[in-house]
């Protein structure tokens, strides 16, 4: 028998989804509580600092999700071009599945909170470092020099983030799929 997710997990998953769709500032704690079906006391039990602590956990969970996806893609696609195409296809699929209502769960939160929230800025920096290191490993494994691989991984993440925005505005996956042709 599978174990039910904890209130903490439900709160974080709900916050991640809502921040991704409507942004940090537009998401209220009451909405998170209602949609997660968690009792109010559990919010402050798990996140004594309130919304900021919850957002930090949401960024960390989103980072784990993205990094697990990248690791799986890297395992299945050792050629950088194949990896990038698969990576873009995953993001395009996520956008289509959300009906173009979701952006990057990390970027949406960071755009509203970095650098004024040191806690969230630190979480965002850690997220980007992990994300880009995994991508750089794909490039390095194919023989690319380390410094070039790190630069290219940053360029790929920046291109994807911009493509997610354009994709959402145009309600088309073409901008995301076009990123694969850039590399």
Nearest Cα to 123, choosing from 24, 52, 20, 69?
52
pLDDT of residue 103: 87
Task: Compute the distance between CA of residue 156 and CA of residue 168 in angstroms, rounded to an integer.
Answer: 18
Nearest Cα to 148, choosing from 139, 156, 157?
139
Task: Compute the distance between CA of residue 77 and CA of residue 114 in angstroms, rounded to an integer.
Answer: 33
Question: What's the sign of the alpha-carbon dihedral 61, 63, 65, 71?
Answer: negative
58-182: which CATH topology? Tetracycline Repressor; domain 2 (1.10.357)
3-state secondary structure of 103: coil
pLDDT tens string, the chain, 183 residues long: the values are 455 568 999 999 999 999 999 999 999 999 999 999 999 999 999 999 999 999 999 999 999 999 999 999 999 999 999 999 999 999 999 999 999 999 888 999 999 999 999 999 999 999 999 999 999 999 999 999 999 999 999 999 999 999 999 999 999 999 999 999 998
The domain limits of the chain are: 58-182
pLDDT of residue 105: 81
Which pTM value belongs to this model? 0.91
């Amino acid at each position: 028998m599978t174990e039910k997710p904890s209130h903490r997990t439900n709160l974080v998953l709900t916050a991640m989804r809502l921040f991704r769709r409507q942004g940090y500032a537009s998401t209220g704690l009451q909405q998170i509580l209602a949609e997660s079906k968690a009792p109010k006391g559990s919010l402050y039990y798990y996140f004594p600092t309130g919304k900021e602590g919850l957002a930090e956990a949401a960024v960390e969970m989103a980072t784990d999700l993205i990094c697990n996806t990248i690791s799986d893609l890297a395992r299945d696609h050792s050629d950088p071009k194949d990896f990038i195409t698969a990576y873009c296809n995953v993001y395009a699929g996520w956008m289509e599945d959300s009906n173009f209502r979701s952006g990057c769960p990390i970027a949406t939160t960071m755009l509203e909170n970095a650098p004024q929230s040191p806690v969230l800025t630190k979480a965002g920096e850690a997220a980007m470092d992990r994300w880009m290191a995994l991508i750089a490993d794909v490039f390095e494994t194919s023989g690319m020099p380390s410094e070039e691989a790190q630069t290219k991984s940053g360029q790929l993440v920046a291109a994807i983030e911009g493509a997610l925005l354009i994709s959402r505005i145009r309600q088309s996956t073409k901008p995301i799929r076009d990123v694969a042709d850039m590399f």
